[in-house]
Amino acid sequence: MDKRTVIGIIILAAILILMPYYQKLISGDQPEVSESDTLASADIDQTHVSPDVVYDSTTSYTPELFETEEDTSSRDASLGGRDDSDTIFSPMDTLPEQLVFVKTGKTDFILSSYGGDIVSAISSEFLDIDGKPLQYCPSEIEGQNFLITAYSGKERITSEALRFIADEDSLILTENDSTGVVTFATMLPGGGMLQRRYHFRFDDYAFEHTTIFGEEVTGEQKIEESVLWWRKGLEPADPDIKGNVSANYRIGYMMGNEYEDEKFSSDEKPQLSFDGSTQFVATHNKYFAVIIAPVEGVASGLRGWGIWYSAESFGDEKRQVPALGVGLVCRGEDNPVLRHDLVYLGPRDYGILKEHNRDFEKTVNLGWSWLQPLTKAFMWVFEFLFGLFGNYGVVIVVFSVLIKLLLLPLSRKQMQSMKKMKDLEPKMTEIRGLYKDDAKRLNEETMKLYKKEGVNPMSGCLPLLPQMPVFFALFALLRNSFALRGAPFMLWLTDLSLRDPYYILPILMSITMFIQQKITVRDPKQKMMVYFMPIFFLFIFRNMPSGLVLYWFTFNVFSLAQTIWVEREKSTPQLADA
């Protein structure tokens, strides 16, 4: 503990201990106030979103849907899984609010002495969908966001109802002065001090939060458990809220070394309450995540809840967006109780999250488990190529050429098979004429001809099989890669992680597929596929990330060029010898 922090805590303790005597001196003896009177007269006029409100996709939150302090028991029963009929409130509830500004190399924070809360966290690096600095804390949701709740028997201590004193007015970190601490402290009616300490580092998306419950916080009773909450979720980071709710707006958690997540649905409320060894809990959208983990060891459980709310962060348009709150549960110990948590607030980037060595990177979806090694390999290739070209659109084009070269031996066999099938067309026509009324015999004679000429009718499909894992791995990479957020290519393609806004690329991809099939398909029974498959792929790819469509289009262009080259070859032996 640094010298300045020790001095600050001593001064805070002196102020807090002498404060009641000072108030008594200037105001005289005051009659005893019952807890109910304290509730009614407390200077806490903020409203709170109730996680018990049933949400749906059409709900627009109005003041009637927010609960006041009189209704907190139902809210906190679901938030912390406990009854709060005997909440402890601060004796310092008349203190004015003190705001503390903290600037790191990654984020600008505004902390409040009301609850020791984080009221604002604005990114120094990233912009939101309106081109403004990204705000991690949704401003449309009322009430406090980063709060601590503790339980001791029937008593409940919540930072939301407390007024603190801070030891700093501001904290500006630099490369040379790279660490700093802000401490909030308050006295409780039962005696003892409650502290919230924020440990910041200049070049880190994560900070550490320490909660200290003094020896006499709850008298002879012990703190049974405490819950550290990030209650408001995250601001939307992409315009396609409806398309990404199920895939990317989730509560994730690591329990017993197994990662699970819960998707957000308007059909049922995501109220979570799990107990057991917990490595971390997370809430995330498509591009950003908040993760809470114990600095050492494991926690004892997690809590979660979600709502829809009406957001105004879409220009002039309001949209219903989800907010998913999460809390990490720790069991209490002998007084004094101390819990030490790591809080990550930053990009949902695989490489950055992996640097923490806490399995945080598992919050990034890399596809099915058997596919993840391939996705990680592609991720490495993309990073290497980006270092060479500096444009992810060019990287995708080059990557598609590399895949085409890798699959060239298979595609050449496909071309050979197609050429042989074309040469057999006269004989096939003869067989169809002889056995047109006998389907069984027609099939037998066709198979005899294939065997005699050494032709495998299925060989034309073989190059498609190795492409499937490549396609799925690329889909996982391009859809969930933070690096592709806002990555432009050229002209109208300004974000390769989003769909083509004008559907130009999917249409071009379908056209190349149609031309290739028109050239290669000879069987009259398959002529309908020439028209059906391009339309089908256009429908499937229309809303996929434009980077993925760019890959498929580029691959098709090179495949079409190869097909035309083979068709123009006059010498069949040369093709066979290749």
Query: CB–CB of 530/517 below 8 Å?
Result: yes
Residue 452: its pLDDT value, please? 73
Using CA atoms, how far apart are residues 469 and 487, in angstroms rounded to an integer? 24
Question: Which residue range(s) make up the domain with 381?
Answer: 372-407+463-577
Tell me whether residue 418 is in a domain: no
For residues 392 and 294, membership in a common domain is answered with: no
**Which residue, among 406, 394, 391, has the nearest Cα to 550 in the 3D structure?**
394
- Residue 102, phi then psi, degrees to nearest 5: -125, 130
Question: Do the bridges between strand 288-294 and strand 337-347 make them parallel or antiparallel, or are there none, so unpaired?
Answer: antiparallel
The verdict on residue 66 lying in a domain is: yes
Instruction: Tell whether 387 and 472 lie within a shared domain.
Output: yes
pLDDT of residue 45: 31
| Cα-to-chain-centroid distance, residue 502 | 27
pLDDT of residue 347: 94
- Examine the domain organization and report whether 353 and 378 are in the same domain: no
Query: Mean pLDDT of successive 10-residue segments in the chain (578 residues)?
Result: 49 48 41 32 30 31 28 40 51 77 96 94 88 84 89 83 91 94 86 89 95 66 86 80 71 91 67 90 92 93 86 60 89 74 94 93 88 89 90 90 79 66 72 74 76 65 69 81 83 84 88 79 64 81 84 85 69 46
Instruction: Say what the pLDDT of residue 400 is.
Output: 86
Shared-domain flag, residues 349 and 378: no
Query: Tokens in use for 486?
Result: 């806002």
Give me the pLDDT at residue 109, please.
96
- Global confidence as pTM: 0.75
Read off the pLDDT of residues 465-480 as tens digits, 9 standing for 90 and up. 667 788 788 888 877 7
Could you say which of 320, 336, 358 is where a domain stops?
358
Q: What per-residue confidence (pLDDT) applies to 92?
A: 58
The whole-angstrom separation of Cα 361 and Cα 350 is: 5
Supply the pLDDT for residue 110. Answer: 96
For residue 149, give both structure tokens.
């709740």
Q: Is residue 396 part of a domain?
A: yes
Question: Two tokens at 279?
Answer: 């490595």
Two tokens at 480?
């969930």
**What pLDDT was estimated at residue 434?**
74
Are 224 and 108 in the same domain? yes
Based on the fold, state whether residues 354 and 396 are members of the same structural domain: no
Burial of 152 (C-beta count, 10 Å sphere; 0-12/13-18/19+): buried
Clarify whether residues 260 and 141 are in a common domain: yes
435 in any annotated domain: no
In angstroms, the CA 251 to CA 290 distance is 10
Q: How many CB atoms lie within 10 A of CB 271?
A: 15
Residue 52 resides in a domain: yes
Locate 357 and state its tokens: 């060595």
Looking at the structure, do residues 140 and 183 belong to the same domain, yes or no? yes
If asked whether residues 9 and 134 sit together in one domain, one would say yes
Task: Look at residue 428 and tell me if it is in a domain.
Answer: no
Measured CA angle at 434 (ends 530, 438), to 5 deg: 80
Last residue of a domain, one of 319, 335, 358: 358
Q: Which of 358, 382, 417 is the last residue of a domain?
A: 358
**How many domains is the chain built from?**
2
CATH number at residue 332: 2.70.98.90
Q: Could you tell me which of 322, 375, 366 has the C-alpha nearest to residue 59?
A: 322
Residue 295 lies in a domain: yes
- Provide the sign of the torsion angle of the four alpha carbons 227, 231, 234, 240, taken in this order: positive
Residues 51 and 173 both lie in one domain:
yes
- The answer to whether the CB of 225 falls within 8 A of the CB of 261 is no
Q: Is 276 part of any domain?
A: yes
| 90 and 174 both lie in a single domain | yes
Q: Give the per-residue pLDDT at 153.
A: 75
Closest CA to 157 of 276, 335, 416: 335
> In the chain, what is the straight-line distance between the N-terminal and C-terminal CA atoms, in Å?
73
- Does 153 lie in the same domain as 7? yes
